[in-house]
Structure 1
Amino acid sequence: MSGDRNIFVVGLNDFNRQRLERLRGAEHWRFHGVIPPEAVYDTEEFDIAAMLAEATAQLEAFDGPIDAIVGYMDFPVSTMLPVLCERFGTSTTSLSSLLKCEHKYWSRRVQREVIPDFIPNFTAFDPFDDEALTRIGEAGLFFPFFIKPIKSSGSRLGFRIDTPEDFYQAIDQLRDSIGTIADPFNTVLEYAHLPPEIAAVDGHFCMAEGIIGGWQCTVEGYVFDGEVVSYGIFDSLRYPQVLSFFHYRYPSGLPDAIQAKMRELTDTMMTHIGYDNAAFNVEYFWDEVQDRIWLLEINTRISQSHCDLFEKVDGVSNQQVAIDLGLGQRPDMPHREGKFAMAAKFFHRVFFTDALVTRVPTPEEVASLEADFPGTMVEIQVAEGQWLSSLAEQDSYSYALAHVWMGAATAEQLLADFEQLVARMVFEFDQIQG
């Protein structure tokens, strides 16, 4: 029909196309992929300049109006969108406001301007500086502390540091691997007008921060024409005694007053940054013992991990928000209209240093599990003959063998169902390294 809107999705794959086509208004939208998904999924090689050139050529060649350019992934997609949207006149936030979220040092500096009591002590350091540990101490940070690149993807290259030995082991890994994201991130920084104190801290730098912790959660929100809207809060629950995520749960079980304070902090922060007409999510900790809220980090996108959970509980994926905003309109996001009162995304993990995968659940076994637990979706993350160490985007402590999305009436039922499902999911390994 003549009124159809052309929406270009960076890294569009079949799985997300099906989800997008279930959104409100989708009968009037035509989805087009920009940059093949394999260039932004399951890889750690990001040639930003080449991807921007490829996307620009494809968009310029399109014979018709370009109504929206959107994405739903972290780096490098999130950082390319403002460049493309500005070039083609579509709606999103400015590159500088996005970088005030994604450049971790710049983000902490702007957070300190308005919510200083809700962030830890921090400093930037150069991992290639042999005196880095001394400089961290001079900034008032002492063991234990946490280090991570100023731009990372997922939980990669993040380390808790308890001793000098921990620090130097982490530095070896950072020096070896930081370039895979630092180099392309620096390409993005070249498009921005940075203050001198930020320009001096490029993608090869790291952050050291005081240890924060507690009940971790994520506020999903968006800004539309200057109005900040937080429309869902998720709990991020970890395996006991380790940093690896066990599951994301929606809706949050946090006390109402804590959720309200997190929404207030989010409003203050996103308004101060000047973020507008785009989706975001903000990760927080609530330290229940000290009754203290900490802002962990700001992500400039919807969370893909939350899409199915929103669909189960509220009735529509949060991709509704990304598409509506990309079209320049207020998001049409329902509330509690889904089939389940609770939903979770589980990470089925092993805590090996490495191993060779010799068996994974068959497609028939997965289909049987999904049939026995209505609403469940299982994505196997490994293949027979694969070394776990070859998996992309893993944290520093474990490997995710499968992602499992489930819905239930209560949090207790979610856990019970997951335990039953995992007991029937058979993986086997050889040459296990402790």
Structure 2
Amino acid sequence: MKNIFVFGADEFNLSLMRSLDSAHEYCFHELYQYSEVKTGKEFPVETLYEGALARLNSYPDSVDAIVGYLDFPVSTMLPLLCQSLGLPSPSFEAVLKCEHKYWSRLEQRRVIPEYIPNFCSVDPFKDDYRQQITLDYPFWLKPVKAVLSHLGFMVRDDSELEMAIIEIRKKIYCFAKPFNYLLQFADLPDEIAAVDGYHCIAEGIISHGQQCTLEGYVFDGKLCVYGTVDSIREGEHGSSFSRYQYPSSIPQPIQDKMIAVTERFLTAIDFDNGPFNIEYYWDKDSDHIWLLEINTRISKSHSPLFRNVDGKSHHQIMLDLALGKQPIFPHRKGLYRYSAKFMWRTHADAQVNRVPTEQEIQAITQRIGGTDIQLHVREGMRLSDLNYQDSYSYEIATVFIGGDSEQELLQKYHDVQQALPLELVPLL
């Protein structure tokens, strides 16, 4: 039995891992639960890091792998933990060259400049923040480290810039302070050391066209992409995700080009022995692709999609890599031809007066086959109490659906929304 330590474990993802064919070979241990890592207003990274090292070093048996499927701070901390125990992992510097948004763009400009937008760093706490920005309106402004588009703003004029800066100054600390703690473990170039977690990046707009995410890994220097998932947006600025849908509708030659660009970049930064997901836009009119961002983990949002279509959750790939093994993954062996994760959103704050019971949710999923419902709200709360939302909407529930056509996915989602007894009262 291999002892697998799961950093930021939650029951949904643990159940997906326990359902794998190879699960009998593993003994899963919770190296902190999701609630200890992600549900507070701040990330206690020093406590988490030192506590994790103490737990791992005091474990009486072998520690065979440390895994995580969560974004910051888990994805950023994993290489440090693996490195300290001599376990397979990308280097900490390679991970930072993906996760530090400004450092990542600098490296991309060096290797693949034709596939990225114009960008510049911004210190939001300096009075001359407008003079620092070398881009014309409109542009995106976001912290160099955040998750789920948190504190990301589309800025179209001076007044929107001022409002974004005010909001960023109030809230950036929740990522900046813990990110800066982790940056101390890296040997940073001077130009990166000067742009810490309290800084932002301004980027030219590339949010036109079709967005997708490549899921892949590098093992012993060889890159493999095993699936491409479409990312479908909604909202005034196209800033909020509506659903992820697999497999992608983007033509294979375009996907092949994305894979080639990905390989060029990850090879250049020496990223090896780890999973990744990388986001692109494809502009159909110009037939050009744009690299949006890279994440150094599997996307847990895509796990049920791969299970539904390919027959296995890609947690398997994460586990194989963490154990130093060449991943072997099925293709189109699942129950459905298509699968999607729907993000049920609302764009105005509201009071949650009623949520469905577990029994009501179970009755709906049994009646509407191939569905799984996760609520993010509780009775009595305000939507504005939700943590780490994007700047334009609130995600109140997630619905995973499998079906044999896109139309079937959309119909099932509509049926779930109609059936779920969820009561929201708008706040005036």
TM-score, reference length from structure 2 = 0.98
Q: Which residue of 155, 179, 184 maps to 2:173?
A: 179
Query: Which secondary structure does the structure 1 equivalent of 2:9 belong to?
Result: coil
Shift, 1:375, TM fit: 1.7
Q: Which residue of 384, 387, 391 maps to 2:382?
A: 387
Whether 1:332 aligns to 2:328 is yes
Could you tell me how far apart the structure 1 residues matched to 2:326 and 2:424 are? Answer: 49
Query: Which secondary structure does the structure 1 equivalent of 2:257 belong to?
Result: helix
- The aligned counterpart of 2:158 is 164
Query: How many residues end up aligned between the 2 structures?
Result: 426
Shift, 1:65, TM fit: 0.9
Query: Which secondary structure does the structure 1 equivalent of 2:312 belong to?
Result: coil
- Aligned pairs (5 A) from 1:182-221: 182-213=176-207, 214-221=209-216
- The aligned counterpart of 1:42 is 39
Q: Which residue of 85, 92, 96 maps to 1:95?
A: 92
Contact 1:42 1:393 in 2 (8 A): no
Shift, 1:268, TM fit: 1.0
Whether 1:5 aligns to 2:2 is yes
User: Aligned partner of 1:85: which letter?
Assistant: C
User: Aligned partner of 2:183: which letter?
Assistant: L
Could you tell me how far apart the structure 1 residues matched to 2:143 and 2:361 are? Answer: 37
Could you tell me how far apart the structure 1 residues matched to 2:39 and 2:232 are? Answer: 24
- Aligned pairs (5 A) from 1:113-152: 113-136=110-133, 139=134, 141-152=135-146
Could you tell me how far apart the structure 2 residues matched to 1:19 and 1:341 are? Answer: 20
Deviation string, structure 1 residues 178-235 (Cα, Å, up to 9, x no partner): 0100000001100000111111100000000000022111000100000011111000
- Aligned pairs (5 A) from 1:1-400: 4-136=1-133, 139=134, 141-213=135-207, 214-239=209-234, 241=236, 242-352=238-348, 354-400=349-395
Which shows bigger deviation, 165-174 or 28-37?
A: 28-37
Which shows bigger deviation, 19-28 or 394-403?
A: 19-28
Contact 2:139 2:204 in 1 (8 A): yes
Which shows bigger deviation, 10-19 or 336-345?
A: 10-19
Whether 1:427 aligns to 2:422 is yes
Shift, 1:240, TM fit: 5.0
- Stretches of structure 2 that go unaligned for 5 or more consecutive residues are none
> Kindly, what percent of the aligned residue pairs are identical?
46
Query: Structure 2 vs 1, CA of residues 289 and 43 (structure 1 numbering), >3 Å: closer, same or farther?
Result: farther
Shift, 1:263, TM fit: 1.0
**Over aligned residues, Cα RMSD in angstroms?**
1.1
Shift, 1:146, TM fit: 0.6
Query: Which secondary structure does the structure 2 equivalent of 1:7 belong to?
Result: strand
Could you tell me how far apart the structure 1 residues matched to 2:278 and 2:312 are? Answer: 20
- Give the ranges of 4+ consecutive aligned residues of structure 1 lying more than 6 Å apart after TM superposition: none
Deviation string, structure 1 residues 157-193 (Cα, Å, up to 9, x no partner): 0000001000000001100000100000001100000
User: Aligned partner of 2:296: which letter?
Assistant: T
User: Aligned partner of 1:427: which letter?
Assistant: L
Which shows bigger deviation, 47-56 or 234-243?
A: 234-243
Which shows bigger deviation, 18-27 or 127-136?
A: 18-27
Contact 2:121 2:132 in 1 (8 A): no
- Stretches of structure 1 that go unaligned for 5 or more consecutive residues are none
Could you tell me how far apart the structure 2 residues matched to 1:206 and 1:158 are? Answer: 10
Shift, 1:289, TM fit: 2.0
Query: Which secondary structure does the structure 2 equivalent of 1:25 belong to?
Result: helix
Query: Which secondary structure does the structure 1 equivalent of 2:38 belong to?
Result: coil
Could you tell me how far apart the structure 2 residues matched to 1:119 and 1:44 are? Answer: 32
Query: Which secondary structure does the structure 2 equivalent of 1:73 belong to?
Result: coil
Could you tell me how far apart the structure 2 residues matched to 1:431 and 1:312 are? Answer: 36
Shift, 1:431, TM fit: 4.7
Could you tell me how far apart the structure 1 residues matched to 2:204 and 2:426 are? Answer: 38
Shift, 1:393, TM fit: 2.1
Query: Which secondary structure does the structure 1 equivalent of 2:427 belong to?
Result: strand
Query: Which secondary structure does the structure 2 equivalent of 1:19 belong to?
Result: helix
Could you tell me how far apart the structure 2 residues matched to 1:223 and 1:389 are? Answer: 39
Deviation string, structure 1 residues 14-54 (Cα, Å, up to 9, x no partner): 22222111223221111111123212132331121111111
Contact 1:91 1:277 in 2 (8 A): yes
